[in-house]
């Protein structure tokens, strides 16, 4: 495949790491999925600009991932290129008293720590959400009454022409697990700028500890998963509906509706994507039949 050698040459020019035939299982928190042809770990905007132009001009399939905590990869893998925003693109800068500027591959966990160390409040809700800041903005990740919409000021992305574009919060169309980026998959987020508020270190820390404890108490964190399997349906909770339908603990292979939190499907060891998707369908059908609610899958499928 010529695209592999040509892309590798572009990446070498910028010192970006590339990996051939990588198992995506190791790049997702669900720990399922086959291989991709080429994985590129982005390390600078210029490399991304050239890579994207190449991919689009040559009609090569590509997908973007951060920490893979909200994706499910097909057992057959992905016949194309995976662009990874990870530790090679994860700088966090304290710009002023209340502004943090993050490269999109920065781990949300790290961003929360930098905010805390600098007495900046607002991101406490995100403590314990796995993933990168780029993935969090794409998903408008949220928890315990907070969401990315509350803290983002502006972002920068690279479009399909390889141009670097700035977008302000008001133009991001942020809503429950939705953003302009989730509607336009050729907008690759490279920078997320957060506006926080000054607060007392101990108060911030207390809130973070409290929210993390809630997660530990309620969520099956000792098993691989992609977090909540279904979006919250209007006016109800997926976990409540699933439990009410008697589906807690239901399994297909090693995929199981968690006994600890019915909103999570977990991988008990050797689950496949097929097991998970069969279980997802069983849950969706039963919940629809018994309650009328249609549960929508939250993680993105990569196939
Ligand atoms: C145990 C557990 C608990 C969780 N709890 C929560 C929670 O409380 N609240 C919540 O909202 N979510 C939760 N999640 C889901 C997940 O952690 C978040 O959605 C997270 O923000 C995803 O970030 P990521 O970097 O892992 O993205 P990925 O899973 O890698 O990608 C998710 C989507 O974002 C896109 N994307 C990623 N980076 C970029 C980028 N730079 N530019 C453009 N597109 C990009 C990908 O293409 C993909 O479509 C949980 C997951 C787990 C496993």
Q: How far is the CA of 130 from the centre of ligand 1 (A)?
A: 7
Residue-level pLDDT at 164: 98
189 lines ligand 1 (CB under 6 A): yes
Q: Let me know whether 194 and 293 are in one domain.
A: no
User: Is 146 contained in some domain?
Assistant: yes
Same-domain status, 246 and 285: yes
Q: What is the mean pLDDT of residues 266-291?
A: 98
Task: Say yes or no to pLDDT of 53 above 80.
Answer: yes
Judging by DSSP bridges, how do beta strands 62-65 and 78-84 pair with one another?
Answer: parallel
Find the 79 Cα to ligand 1 centroid distance in Å.
22
**105 with 89: CB under 8 angstroms?**
yes
* The ligand 1 atom nearest the CA atom of 139: 19
Question: Once rounded to an integer, what is the mean pLDDT over residues 7-11?
Answer: 98
From residue 38, give the alpha-carbon distance in Å to each of 20, 41, 189. 5, 10, 20
Beta bridge partners of 168: 154
DSSP state of 96: S
User: Ligand 1 in contact with 69 (CB < 6 A)?
Assistant: yes
Distance between first and last Cα of the chain = 19
- Mark which of 66, 87, 108 sits at the end of a domain: 87
Residues 22-44 pLDDT 10s:
999 999 999 999 999 999 999 99
pLDDT band at 115 (very low <50, low <70, confident <90, very high): very high
137: domain CATH number is: 3.30.465.10
Please state the domain count of the chain: 3
The pLDDT mean for the chain works out to 98
Counting ligand 1 atoms within 8 A of each CB, the residue from 86, 135, 140 with the most, and so the one to mutate, is: 135
3-state secondary structure of 1: coil
Q: Do 182 and 99 belong together in one domain?
A: yes
Read off the pLDDT band of 1 (50, 70, 90): low
User: Ligand 1 in contact with 300 (CB < 6 A)?
Assistant: yes
| Ligand 1 neighbour 85 (Cβ under 6 A) | yes
- Reply yes or no on whether the pLDDT at 102 is more than 80: yes
Q: Domain range holding 154?
A: 90-204
**Rounded distance between C-alpha atoms, residue 274 and residue 301, angstroms:** 12
If asked whether residues 240 and 166 sit together in one domain, one would say: no
Q: Compute the distance from residue 283 Cα to the ligand 1 centre, in Å.
A: 22
How high is the pLDDT of residue 160? 96
In a domain, 214, yes or no: no
**Is the CB of 141 within 6 Å of ligand 1?**
yes
Is residue 81 pLDDT above 70, yes or no? yes
Please check whether residues 281 and 227 belong to one and the same domain: yes
For residue 262, give the CATH number of its domain: 3.90.78.10
Kindly report the CATH number assigned to the domain that includes residue 74: 3.30.43.10
199 pLDDT more than 70 = yes
CA of 5 to the centre of ligand 1 (A): 30
**13 and 109 co-located in one domain:** no
Query: Is 255 a residue whose pLDDT tops 90?
Result: yes
In a domain? residue 209: no
State the average pLDDT over residues 279-300.
Answer: 98
Q: Which residues are catalytic?
A: 177, 228, 298
120, 197: one domain: yes
114 and 187 assigned to the same domain: yes
For 133-187, write each residue's pLDDT tens digit.
999 999 999 999 999 999 999 999 999 999 999 999 999 999 999 999 999 989 9
**Would you say residue 37 lies in a domain?**
yes
* Residue of 28, 69, 80, 220 best suited for mutating to test ligand 1, as the one with most atoms within 8 Å of CB: 69
For residue 154, what pLDDT is reported?
A: 98
* 125-129 contacts at long range (C-beta below 8 A, 24 or more positions apart): 125/150, 125/211, 127/208, 127/211, 127/212, 128/211, 128/212, 128/215, 129/69, 129/227
């Amino acid at each position: 495949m010529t695209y592999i050698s040509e892309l590798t040459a572009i990446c070498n020019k910028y010192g970006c790491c590339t990996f051939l035939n990588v198992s995506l299982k190791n790049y997702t928190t669900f720990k399922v999925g086959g291989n991709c042809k080429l994985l590129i770990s982005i390390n600078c905007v210029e490399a991304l600009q050239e890579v994207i132009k190449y991919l689009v001009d040559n009609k090569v399939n590509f997908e973007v991932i951060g920490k893979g905590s909200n994706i499910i990869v097909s057992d057959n893998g992905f016949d194309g290129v995976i662009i990874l925003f990870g530790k090679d693109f994860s700088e966090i800068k304290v710009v002023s008293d209340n502004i943090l500027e993050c490269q999109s591959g920065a781990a949300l966990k790290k961003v929360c720590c930098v905010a805390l160390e600098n007495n900046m409040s607002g991101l406490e809700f995100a403590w314990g959400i796995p993933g990168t800041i780029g993935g969090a903005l794409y998903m408008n990740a949220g928890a315990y009454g907070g969401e990315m919409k509350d803290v983002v000021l502006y972002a920068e992305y690279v479009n399909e022409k390889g141009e670097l574009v700035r977008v302000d919060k008001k133009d991001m169309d942020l809503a429950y697990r939705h953003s302009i980026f989730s509607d336009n998959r050729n907008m690759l987020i490279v920078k997320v700028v957060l506006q926080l508020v000054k607060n007392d270190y101990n108060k911030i820390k207390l809130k973070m500890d409290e929210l993390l404890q809630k997660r530990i108490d309620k969520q099956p964190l000792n098993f691989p998963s992609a977090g909540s399997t279904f979006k919250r349906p209007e006016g109800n909770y997926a976990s409540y509906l699933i439990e009410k339908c008697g589906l807690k603990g239901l399994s297909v292979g090693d995929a199981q509706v968690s006994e600890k939190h019915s909103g999570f499907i977990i991988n008990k060891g050797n689950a496949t994507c097929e097991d998970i998707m069969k279980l997802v369908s069983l849950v969706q059908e039963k919940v629809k039949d018994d309650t009328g609610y249609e549960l929508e899958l939250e993680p993105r499928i990569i196939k």
